Amino acid sequence: MKRTKIVDLLKREDYGSQVCVKGWVRTKRGSKAVNFIALNDGSTINNVQVVADVEKFDPEMMKLITTGACLSVEGQMVQSIGSGQAVEIQATDIQVLGECPADYPMQKKGQSFEYMRQHAHMRLRTNTFGAVMRIRHNMAMAIHTYFHEHGYFYFHTPLITASDCEGAGNMFQVTTKNLYDLKKDEQGKIIYDDDFFGQQTSLTVSGQLEGELGATALGAIYTFGPTFRAENSNTPRHLAEFWMIEPEVAFLDQEELMDLEEDFIKFCVRWALDNCKDDLAFLNKMIDNGLIERLEGVLKETFVRLPYTKGIEILQEAIKNGRKFEFPCNWGDDLASEHERYLVEEHFKKPVIMTDYPRAFKSFYMKQNEQSADGGSVGYQGAIAPGPTMQGTDVLFPQIGEIIGGSVREADYNKLMGEIERRKMDMTHLWWYLDTRKYGSCPHAGFGLGFERLILFVTGMQNIRDVIPFPRTPKNAEF
């Protein structure tokens, strides 16, 4: 008999039909006469109840039906008389496809997330991680759908690169060289002419620079792929391997970029509420009882657009009124997560797009704001900053902090070169990037969204290691 997925079975009303389901045992309970088996195949958060009359089945086979065992069940689909489900199966045939001994690490009783990370290969079978992974899939579909419907082209940027996308993070090197016998020059530097690519190469930290090439040819592109950062960050918000969404758009100014960021995020949240109702309801009940309300709140609110200078004023006023922060927040400081979350969660109580950051801690490729008469910068909506500022547009979210980092890119070749020279950057491997400003340069802008941070927000999970199947973090590359 052809297998029916449980997600489809639970929608059916043709009671009396013969069906076949296959999946893994969540629980087994019962009496000497009847066993009730909760079966799940991963297609939905909901289980189907299998009712097995004990006298109809081999007692030795029934002993093999334990939590985690894999079964094939045939039987009659009937209307359930119990609460919680409309459908159950009166079993006529049960086959144990895979036994599961008592040392199965994901028993019914609750385990800590830290414990489950040690068994990441098995945690995917739990209700929580099944829900998170189905939502992760749906968010990927939302991303592709949004950009496709808005005329963007899916653009594949290299994972192996000789450029460092300056300022984006430390890099993992890629080499075929024998690390025990490295050839070096007189200054002790490694010579790469005998390496596979003939030069030093690394795993990418961002596809942005290559994405800009795509935008200046195709008009609007987006990347969606893995990125790698060799940073020793053991925090709930950092991974060494994660996925990034990076649209780049020609002829886009700062205000239009913020419109794009807000519209895109709201589309993804709306997609989750429309397509992941059962999984979100489960996570709202078991993980974060304010989850659905918070997601719905994002759709109702217009994001605040806040110049960095004004944000600093708000934070300093909070300090005067007794609010304590661990890190300083004077003009020129790169804001910490605690500052971002204060602005979003306590002051405005809605998402914030922070703009016009000081040049000192932003990347060379960002467009610089015009200078005011007193030597400061004229930023978004005329805000005057005491020093040079860049047209950055970072989206700050409740519980997450920064979820998007974006900017208008500097399109003028001479201005870009002036910033490169001021920073004394080596552009040897970025000659091709400068060509975009030499030959038919155009205004353009874009942003980067860490996929896992989006999943953190949409699921209510508290640690980024719990929204990716197999997290890569310092000292951890298992599975």
Q: How confident is the model at residue 372 (pLDDT cuts 50, 70, 90)?
A: confident
Lookup result for tokens 């700062």: 254
Across 438-453, b (16+ Cβ under 10 Å) vs e yields eeebeebbbbbbbbbb
Question: Is residue 419 domain-shared with residue 288, that is, in the same domain?
Answer: yes
Residue-wise pLDDT tens digits, 258-284: 999 999 999 999 999 999 999 999 999
Helix spans in 245-290 (H): 254-275, 277-286
Instruction: Choose one of 98, 115, 139: the last residue of a domain.
Output: 98
Do 379 and 355 form a contact (C-beta atoms < 8 A)?
A: yes
Q: Are 409 and 393 in contact (CB under 8 A)?
A: no
Cα distances (angstroms) measured from residue 475 to each of 48, 191, 228, 236, 444? 40, 28, 15, 15, 39
The pLDDT, as a whole number, for residue 135 is: 98
Is 181 part of a structural domain of the chain? no
For 286, the domain range is 127-170+205-466
Q: Which has the minimum average pLDDT: 2-11, 48-57, 226-235, 447-456?
A: 226-235
Asked whether 71 and 22 are in contact (CB, 8 A), the reply is: yes
What the block records as the tokens of 250 is 């020609």
Assess whether 231 and 370 both reside in one domain: yes
Close Cβ partners of 469 (under 8 Å, ≥ 6 residues apart)? 120, 124, 133
Going by C-alpha positions, the residue among 267, 227, 196 that lies closest to residue 472 is 227
Q: Mark whether 36 and 157 lie in a shared domain.
A: no
Average pLDDT, the chain: 94
Residue 188 lies in a domain: no
Specify whether the CB–CB gap between 50 and 89 falls below 8 A: yes
> From edge to edge, which strands make up the β-sheet containing 370-371?
370-371, 377-378, 384-385
Q: End of a domain among 50, 77, 98?
A: 98
Is 106 inside any structural domain? no
User: 279: which residues sit within 8 A by CB, 6+ positions away?
Assistant: 45, 130, 131, 132, 134, 135
Q: What is the DSSP letter of 420?
A: H
Domain-embedded: residue 229: yes
Is residue 362 domain-shared with residue 414, that is, in the same domain? yes
Q: What is the CATH number of the domain that holds 66?
A: 2.40.50.140
Q: What is the mean pLDDT of residues 295-307?
A: 95
Q: What is the share, in percent, of the chain residues with pLDDT greater than 70?
A: 99
Per-residue pLDDT tens over the stretch 443-461: 999 999 999 999 999 999 9
User: Cα–Cα distance between 97 and 400 in angstroms, integer?
Assistant: 42
Q: What is the mean pLDDT of residues 286-313?
A: 95
pLDDT at position 166 over 80: no
Task: Decide if 331 is inside a domain.
Answer: yes
The CATH number of the domain holding residue 326 is 3.30.930.10
Q: What pLDDT does residue 48 have?
A: 97
Confidence of residue 167 (pLDDT cuts 50, 70, 90): low
Q: Are residues 36 and 148 in the same domain?
A: no
Q: Do 163 and 69 reside in the same domain of the chain? A: no
Q: Which residues pair with residue 24 across a beta bridge?
A: 40, 70
The confidence score (pLDDT) of residue 83 equals 67
Mean pLDDT of 167-186: 87
Q: Does residue 451 share a domain with residue 374?
A: yes
Tally of domains in the chain: 2
Q: How confident is the model over 96-140, as pLDDT tens digits?
A: 999 999 999 988 677 899 999 999 999 999 999 999 999 999 999
Could you tell me if 346 and 233 lie in one domain? yes
Number of C-beta neighbours around residue 142 at 10 A: 22
Q: Compute the distance between CA of residue 49 and CA of residue 208 in angstroms, rounded to an integer.
A: 49
Is residue 9's pLDDT more than 70? yes
Provide the token pair at 110: 């609750």
Name residue, tokens 């999943």: 455
pLDDT tens string 64-74: 999 999 999 99
Over 80: is that where the pLDDT of 165 sits?
no
CB 240 within 8 A of CB 228: yes
Tell whether 31 and 132 lie within a shared domain.
Answer: no
Average the pLDDT over 230-243 and give the result: 90
Please give the share of the chain, as a percent, with pLDDT higher than 90: 85
Cβ-based neighbours of 401, under 8 Å, separated by 6 or more: 237, 337, 340, 341, 344
Last residue of a domain, one of 77, 98, 119: 98
Higher pLDDT, 226 or 32: 226
Is residue 422 predicted with pLDDT exceeding 90? yes
| Same domain (yes/no): 43, 151 | no
Per-residue pLDDT averaged across 81-103, rounded?
91
Is residue 74 a contact partner of residue 1, using CB atoms and an 8 Å limit?
yes
For Cα atoms 31, 34, 36, give the angle at the middle one, nearest 5 degrees: 95
In the chain, count H helices and then E strands: 14, 19
Burial class (CB in 10 A: 0-12, 13-18, 19+), 253: middle
Q: What's the pLDDT band for 415 if we cut at 50, 70, 90? A: very high
Question: Is the pLDDT reported for residue 52 higher than 70?
Answer: yes
In a domain? residue 177: no
The answer to whether 460 touches 287, Cβ cutoff 8 Å, is yes
Residues, the chain: 479
Which residues make beta-bridge pairs with 438?
none
**114: helix, strand or coil:** helix
Asked if residue 479 is part of any domain, the answer here is: no
Q: How far is CA 390 from the centre of its chain?
A: 26
In angstroms, the CA 158 to CA 227 distance is: 10
Q: In whole angstroms, what is the distance from residue 177 CA to residue 434 CA?
A: 31
Evaluate whether residue 284 is within a structural domain: yes
Q: What is the mean pLDDT of residues 243-267?
A: 98
DSSP code string of 193-252: TTSTTSS-EEE-S-SHHHHHHHHHHHSEEEEEEEEE------STT--SEEEEEEEEEET-
Cβ-proximal residues to 147 (8 Å cutoff; 6+ apart), any chain: 154, 222, 247
* Predicted confidence (pLDDT) at residue 371 exceeds the cutoff of 90: no
Q: Are both 49 and 137 inside the same structural domain? A: no
Q: Tell me, what's the pLDDT at 394?
A: 96
Distance CA(211)–CA(223), nearest Å, equals 7
The reply to whether 85 and 166 lie within a common domain is no
Looking at residue 365, what DSSP letter applies? T
